[in-house]
Amino acid sequence: MKKRLSWRGFSAYRLWAQLPHLEVSQLPDVIMFGAGIALFYAVVTVGHSWFGPFTPSVEISRSLWALPAYAGYSLLRITIAYALSLGFTLVYGYVAAYNPRAERFMIPLLDVLQSIPVLSFLPGVMLAMVALFPGRQLGVELGAILLIFTGQVWNMAFSFYASLKSIPKDMREAATIYRFSWWQRFTQMELPFSAIGLVWNSMMSVAGGWFALMVCEMFVLGSRDFRLPGLGSYLQTAASAGDTTSILWGIATMVAVIVLLDQFVWRPVIAWAEKFKVETVESTDAPRSWVLNLVQRSSGLASIRQKTLRPLGERLLLHFARKSTEERPAEVAAPWRDWLLRALAVLTLAGIGYGVVRAAIILSGLQKVELHETALGLGATFLRVNLALLIGALWTIPAGVAIGFNPRLARIAQPLAQIAASVPATALLPVILLLLIRIGGGLGLASIVVLLLGTQWYVLFNVIAGAMAIPTDLKECCSVFQIRGIQRWKRLILPGIFPYLVTGLVTASGGAWNASIVAEYFHFKGQIYTTTGLGATISQATDSGDFHLLLAATMMMAATVVTVNRLVWRKLYGLAETRFRLET
């Protein structure tokens, strides 16, 4: 007997049948609403934990069920550190690029800061944060975030600075002719021109944040043991215990987070940044992202942009435009301003002098044997760093050009490179060390492999950005005139990627010196594996709380990196600004 379908049942069935035909733009709104609720819950939970009392000894569980929470904590720290890095990059790079007097001091200072390893920042940053927030978990969390910040920010700052210095003259002249205000130049010329390099260096910075987690989330400072729940502390605990299974599960969790970030963050950003490419002919195979398409079809987000972001942008545009068009009265020399600047200069020089004297007093307490061993370690680490740079450049330059010229290949290779760059080499060091001990070579050879794994990605990501930034019309011009092979590399590829390549080599060099602290000194199964090197000296001095030796080794490392930068990299930067600038 057939059942009759009621009117209500028929209406429900008709509504269900029409669901696939509903407006697609409602799906992003639902997703964004859910993401907002989840974000709000995460902020409340983390805030309750961070503003709670300090827990001096946190037990790091190696259970698989703890991995999702640990991944969330680590991702939050990296995100906050990246936001700080981006703000620092925009301010520091802008001032250094447009203020010649400040540039003479800011770029060498950036060289010094990039050359200082995370472990050298660790004592001062962590003790300062703990003292600033006594008895609160917030102090230790902020200390870890600032340490991750020191592993992320330098390559972004160098990239933004190099992009601003290489803006074509015709673009600047057009901005002057149309009387662009400071805000218009920044938002419509400088940020768009540097977008591609900044995006790819941001990916490398986040990868560097994952690399630094094992140092920043779990460390010993003298008699004090600082531990924070996260993937870095999980991997370090598993490595110290020799638990290969837990190491693999931790790496798998990290890879899963990186893949999600690639799909929901980096691919949309890469596809969005393609519109800022300086070219007259549009590429036929531009990067695409289903997430970006979904967001662009969202009626809710479009309404938010229309009612909030666009009016705010117009008000800022009008505000700075009015200020630039107002007639400025003739500036009258202010004697008090000159005296204030002189007083600040005197105080700064006095502070530097005091620091130099205190450092000399501390270094005078070192024995000749310690200084001799530190100098010997400096030479060994210098050779390892340059060998790793050479090996990395030999394969990253052709691979980066191939990826940057082929968007289809980039869709496959970019997430793989991001995963490989983000997996801490220290997590793979037990496997590498055991393999090389069997073959022969020990940590001396393993340290070069770790340096290579930690630094080659700086060159690769910058070369990809440089290859993607080469205008399509120049590529088509080479194809029309049949410029191929070596001539194509000499006339198009190498000149086009040269500014990006220099930035990649500079940051890779600094990253290699930083990575030496974990490549030359390693805890595994209750034993310490070490080799001659400056990084091993810094790690050993941190473990033993020998701040005299830590200061001496850090100063040697910083002096070496700054000297190389001034003699080599600064000259290459000058060449990139003058000879290899894209302009008509």
In Å, what is the CA distance from 450 to each residue of 37, 413, 428? 41, 21, 9
Any idea which residue has 């009626």 for tokens?
A: 299
**Pairwise CA distance, residues 521 & 191, whole Å:** 41
Mean pLDDT of 415-419: 76
Range with lowest mean pLDDT among 6-10, 164-168, 493-497: 6-10
Residue 148 structure tokens? 């991750």
Mean pLDDT calculated for residue range 446-459: 82
Categorize the per-residue pLDDT at 546 as very low, low, confident or very high, splitting at 50, 70 and 90. Answer: confident
Closest CA to 121 of 215, 223, 56: 215
User: For 504-515, what is the mean pLDDT?
Assistant: 82
185-225 per-position pLDDT tens digit:
888 888 988 888 888 888 888 877 877 777 777 766 656 66
What does the pLDDT read at residue 394?
92
Taking residues 557-568, report their average pLDDT: 82
| pLDDT for residue 424 | 63
For range 379-403, the mean pLDDT: 91
The pLDDT score that the predictor gives to residue 19 is 44
Burial class for 578, CB neighbours closer than 10 Å (0-12, 13-18, 19+): exposed
Question: pLDDT at residue 461 above 90?
Answer: no
SS3 call for 483: coil
Instruction: Give pLDDT, residue 259.
Output: 82
Domains and CATH numbers, the chain: 21-50+289-319 (no CATH), 51-57+64-288+364-578 (1.10.3720.10)
Look at residue 446 in the predicted model and tell me its pLDDT.
Answer: 78
- Checking if the pLDDT of 509 tops 50, the result is yes
Question: In the prediction, which pLDDT does 20 show?
Answer: 47
pLDDT tens digits, residue range 333-349?
Answer: 456 666 776 777 778 77
* Per-residue confidence band for 568, with pLDDT thresholds at 50, 70 and 90: confident
The model's pLDDT over 86-142, given as tens digits with 9 standing for 90+, comes to 999 999 999 988 888 888 878 878 877 776 766 667 667 777 777 777 777 778 888
**Better pLDDT: 358 or 103:** 103
| pTM > 0.75: yes or no | no
Q: Which stretch of 182-196, 304-318, 483-497 has the lowest confidence by average pLDDT?
A: 304-318
The percentage of residues in the chain with a pLDDT greater than 90, rounded to a whole number, is 5
Q: Which residues pair with 136 in a beta bridge?
A: 53
Q: Is the pLDDT of residue 158 over 50?
A: yes
Exposed (0-12), middle (13-18) or buried (19+): which is 355, by Cβ within 10 Å?
exposed
Smallest CA-to-CA distance from 450 within 374, 529, 376, 377 is with: 529
What average pLDDT is seen over the chain? 77
Residues of the chain with pLDDT > 70, as a percent, come to: 76
Range in 72-81, 160-169, 354-363 with the lowest mean pLDDT: 354-363
For residues 454-473, average pLDDT: 85
Q: What is the amino acid identity at position 444? A: G
Predicted pLDDT at 6: 47
Q: Is 80 exceeded by the pLDDT of residue 248?
A: yes
Q: Residue 49 is encoded by which pair of tokens?
A: 């934990």
For residues 434 and 437, give the distance between their C-alpha atoms in angstroms, rounded to a whole number: 5
Q: How much is the average pLDDT of 471-480?
A: 82
Tell me what pLDDT residue 16 has: 43
Question: Do 524 and 408 meet the contact criterion of CB atoms below 8 Å apart?
Answer: no
**Among 75-79, 351-355, 411-415, 555-559, where is mean pLDDT lowest?**
351-355
User: What pLDDT, on a 0 to 100 scale, did the predictor assign at position 46?
Assistant: 67
What mean pLDDT do residues 255-261 have? 85
- The segment with the largest mean pLDDT, out of 23-27, 135-139, 251-255, 577-581, is 251-255
Strands, E assignment, 334-440? none
